Structure 1
């Protein structure tokens, strides 16, 4: 039995950096406005403080990435301490992903300038379209995310230059007198810890990074951190220096505590970067051209937010799939469609944020629900690594991570105490997951996993065959009994060795630490390869089963066909719709277009 299950390490820092920026850099699109809304001209000081915390968190995550090169994030780190802690930490991360999707789609349409009366409907439609794209398993979504992240980075750089005239006035408005009392200041600080959102993504990328992982992780984290921290501070100063905000003394959150904020307050609170881009461009180019620049910038930032929502949906699927594979959640969450997408998890990943938005669309409330998941997951990951004596961490690194974890724990506990809605949301989600986990364990009873003497897996796990180089070779890359019988009959007539391969398609973000699909956990693959093995054995045909996990079916079929010197390739005709093939690509067409000379391609209609 040949098994290929290596994780595709094709993520360099040049690719991982924009992906991380798409998560980490997106938070400024709402954090800057919220910071000024809550603290007025004290916001620059708060943004400086959160920048220092982000630097410490980035340092901790370089260590986490080094210790866990196979990825997995908080789930892997916490599981080595306690399985229950892993469930709690991962569920908090799941809460963060759900709220990422919810707040991102809402803010996207705020940036697009959609009337607030239609934002809810538009957001749910956007989530439905995201579900459709992911259902098809479209690879173009990843390229789109990369392009938008690079475009947003370029636009951010342009705004950074244009906003410089407002920086001196913004610096002048900085005042320690604007800070509230220490207790109130601490609570206000916890509200903008949302700026840390996205850093956990890098811990889940390490299983895909080029080796050495520690070097790739550092090259990924530090440049993105520099851009996020420096630009957040610059934009925060410039925002405070805008003529419309420079004279603000009392935070608008306090001023409108019992009343709905007016449109001009909602504009900077919910779309700070759009306001800053428009005002900055108007200063240089005039009001009309500044308006156009602001609109173009807003569209790019809106697309970046939709991309972030798509990433959050994909990440939610990955978390649910990983937990279900470990039997912590129902097995149905591991069911994959023809594109290798866990479709039940996909439905959960889009329905959950849609339900949140039906209940609440206000950005301030959504941010409250968001921050508890972000801080909870980062705190769990950091403290788990600090407490794990088996990890290769120096004494001073362990002390530093422990202090950082303690600080983040204080932040999380403050949110729990001061934000009852956030506590209720996170508590309900954690309680639901733990309840389902407990119910599954009760229903399963004692686990007995004896491997039967007969069965598909036993047929597949035969002793490796010594290949006869003088015999012709046939590759079967189709499923179903009819296909197996045809291939075996052809091999028997030609005196050939039959190879049969089963490719389990997995997208990059579906891969988690120690969660690469195995033949032992893949009943569909067992049935497909086992059927061919049993048929070949009965006919006396030499047989070699191959199980592959990969992100590209066509490339794997071509690679193994050529590697083993097969002169015939048998494939089934696709039963997918034309639209599905347009989204995900037609495997048969790609293989036929690139198959080397001398290899005969046979296509047959049955493919089960």
Structure 2
């Protein structure tokens, strides 16, 4: 007989909410600047539209969390319909997490205001450091995320108060002329570009396996405050941004009526037109380019002047697109408290939001580990991705999750380009989740709710298809990942079919020893609890139990630091070799000594708490912790 217990449901909305905000709320740190870059003073209309979409998605996810109370999201929702669809959905989610880690690590150091030359090396170092900390299983990472999210909320609240005059002025700057001169198709495409504001909502679906019951009620209390805060402050800060005096090549944001995306293209074209004719073919298109000192020395003074103007324009645009909230914080605080305190508050906001972005990088890295773990658990990826280290971290998945975003930022550091790579994974994963829920008739969704799911899912599908068609770089990135995942799945499926061998339940070994135990607990005899951490346990516990004629309990607590991407993905004793060996060894020692033995296997993050809780629950009068160098 073996006593096994699952992780406790101890996650309340007061903790889940800030964690969700730390993931979902970070999109504001780059979405506001990008919206203004694409649409200038029409950006507020776009932010209102994306806000309505965010509220609709929030409503849908309250039902998704209720329907999948044991953990889920895109992987679980899609897998109930098709394993192949779940691979596609989870890979799209994976691409979103990769880009979250990449863009957040780069943006963090923009908010820290470090020199441009240091941004890339520091971003790479931060991802490596995050990987190292998580490899050691630092539990403080979750507490840090909670603290920095709360601090960021406080800073945002102070900013919102100071931004009131700019908010009022921003209302007067809203203009609809943009929609008169812009073709509807282009206006729609620009809307899809800022749909990365939806990034992070999947995180709440991965928390449900730990939420207190009833999960549906707890999820609502988690989602709605965060979504209302994100949408509301996006509008306030979006309006404030349009009223700033921050200047880009002589034009303040308040007076800018032509989007900087268009103005930058004009600045670029002004440079290209002064090039020698033989150069024109090399600089066709709209991509950014840089000229070396050697190249500039061969060009005319007018070309050098045009290039200098273009570079200045680009650098000033990057200031508000890369760190829009820092720009807002500094100017609004300067208006309220004076220039010197404005700079100080701008630095405080920059550091706070930079740390929030690094926290989002940490969340994204561990979310990638969870995707790999879930897929490997279902044989979609090699089983090596399920192997846990001492701290309960799937080490191979962690290594891969660190390497991929580093490779991305080594190739590209421009936030606008990273955002374009990002958006298809975000919208694609949410689309698969919502449509899979709409199709699945076994889910407890009322007729009106299901109709709404269909409508929302099809709208999200139209966004995803638009992005796939209009942003080939995003399609190439996400499509390549999906193709690789499906390719690995096909190869592994064929390999399993070719062998024709099914895994049989073990009939010998440590697990058999544990399963064959006959437990008889005498309530009148003493009880001893041994906390197990490895195979090489001291014989002291068995000797003590024999001398006292006591029942010996041994608890093995398996920590695991992955999200619940699907129900039941947590390790079980049947697949945990080190736990089998540790408990099985003690079982053999106890059998030889004639000691009644009760093995306990628990999955939890709170190791000391679990040990103490079980010690008290079973009425043990002695607790033994530690290990010796003796073994069977």
What TM-score comes out, normalization by structure 1 length? 0.91
Structure 1's 566 and 502: CA in aligned 2 closer, same or farther, altered over 3 A? same
Q: Secondary structure at the match of 1:457?
A: helix
For 2:244, the equivalent position in structure 1 comes to 242
* Aligned equivalent of 1:219, options 218, 221, 225: 221
Specify every segment of 5 or more residues in structure 1 that has no aligned partner in the other structure, as ranges.
574-603
Q: State the distance in 2 between where 1:92 and 1:5 align.
A: 33
Using a 3 Å threshold, how does the CA distance of structure 1 residues 466 and 82 change in structure 2: closer, same or farther? same
Give distance in 2, aligned partners of 1:425 and 1:607.
Answer: 51
SS of residue in 2 equivalent to 1:246: coil
Distance 1:142-1:47 versus aligned 2 partners, 3 A rule: same
Q: Is the 8 A contact 1:137 1:339 kept in 2?
A: yes
Partner of 1:38: 38
Matches within 5 A, 1:68-147: 68-147=68-147
In the aligned structure 2, how far is the partner of 1:107 from the partner of 1:411? 25
2:27 maps to: 27
Q: C-alpha deviations, 1:140-170, integer Å up to 9, x for none?
A: 2211111111111111111111112122332
Q: Deviations over 1:225-278 (max 9, x none)?
A: 111111101111111111321221221112213455432211111111111111
Q: Structure 1 residue 487: deviation in Å?
A: 3.8
SS of match in other structure, 1:476: strand
Offset, 1:346: 1.2
User: Does the 8 Å CA contact 1:320/1:345 hold for their aligned counterparts?
Assistant: yes
Change (3 A) 1:531 1:160: same
Q: Which of 125-134 and 381-390 deviates more? A: 125-134
SS in 1 for 2:625: strand
1:232 to 227, 231, 234: 234
Q: 1:344 to 1:151 in 2, by over 3 A?
A: same
Q: How many aligned residue pairs are there? A: 578
> What's the counterpart of residue 312 of structure 1?
364
The equivalences for 1:182-221 within 5 A come to 182-221=184-223
1:489 offset after TM fit, Å? 4.3
SS at structure 2 position matched to 1:503: strand
Structure 1 Cα separation of the partners of residues 43 and 514 of structure 2: 63
- Note if 1:414 corresponds to 2:466: yes
* 2:358 matches 1:350: no
- 3-state SS of paired residue (1:500): strand
Maintained 8 Å contact 2:587/2:597: yes
Distance change in 2, residues 1:546/1:303 (3 Å) = same
Cα offsets for 1:280-330 (capped at 9, x unmatched): 111122222211111111111111111111111111111111211222111
Indicate conservation of the 8 Å contact 2:7/2:602, yes or no. no
Q: Contact 2:2–2:514 at 8 Å: present in 1 too? A: no
Indicate the RMSD between aligned Cα atoms, in angstroms: 1.9
Residue of structure 1 aligned with 2:616, choices 562, 572, 588: 562
Could you say which residue in structure 1 is the equivalent of 2:55? 55
Other-structure match for 1:504: 558
Q: Check whether the contact 1:479–1:607 (CA below 8 A) recurs between aligned residues.
A: no
What residue in structure 2 maps to residue 380 of structure 1?
432
CA distance in 2, matches of 1:448, 1:542: 36
TM-score (norm 2): 0.88
Task: Kindly state the Cα deviation for residue 106 of structure 1 after the two structures are TM-superposed.
Answer: 0.5
Q: For residue 52 of structure 1, report the CA deviation from its aligned partner.
A: 0.8
1:541 pairs, out of 595, 605, 621, with 595
Closer, same or farther: CA 452–266 of 1 in aligned 2, 3 Å: closer
Write the distance in 2 (CA, Å) between the matches of 1:94 and 1:62. Answer: 22
Which stretch shows the higher mean deviation, 375-384 or 156-165? 156-165
Matched, 1:459 2:513: yes
Distance 2:7 2:506 in 1: 29
2 CA distance for matches of 1:541 and 1:414? Answer: 68
Q: Distance in 1 between matches of 2:385 and 2:451?
A: 39
Q: 1:303 aligns with which of 338, 355, 361?
A: 355
Name the counterpart of 1:594. Answer: none
CA distance in 2, matches of 1:80, 1:266: 44
Mean Cα deviation higher: 337-346 or 526-535: 526-535
Structure 1 residue 486: Cα displacement: 4.8
Bigger Rg, which one: 2
Farther off after superposition, 339-348 or 433-442:
433-442
**CA distance, structure 1, for counterparts of residue 554 and residue 167 of structure 2:** 66
Whole-angstrom distance in 2 between the partners of 1:482 and 1:238: 63
Q: Is 1:324 the counterpart of 2:326 in the alignment?
A: no
For the structure 1 residues 498 and 118, does the alpha-carbon distance in structure 2 shift closer, same or farther, using more than 3 Å as the test? same
Q: Is the 8 A contact 1:75 1:89 kept in 2?
A: yes
Structure 2 partner of 1:178: 178
CA apart distance, 1:470: 3.5
- The Cα offsets for residues 65-110 of structure 1, whole Å up to 9 and x where unpaired, read as 1111111211111100101100110111111111111100100100
Deviates more, 1:529-538 or 1:513-522: 529-538
Match of 2:324 among 260, 265, 272: 272
Q: Output the CA distance in 2 between the equivalents of 1:165 and 1:469.
A: 72
Distance 2:369 2:145 in 1: 18
Aligned residue number for residue 587 of structure 1: none
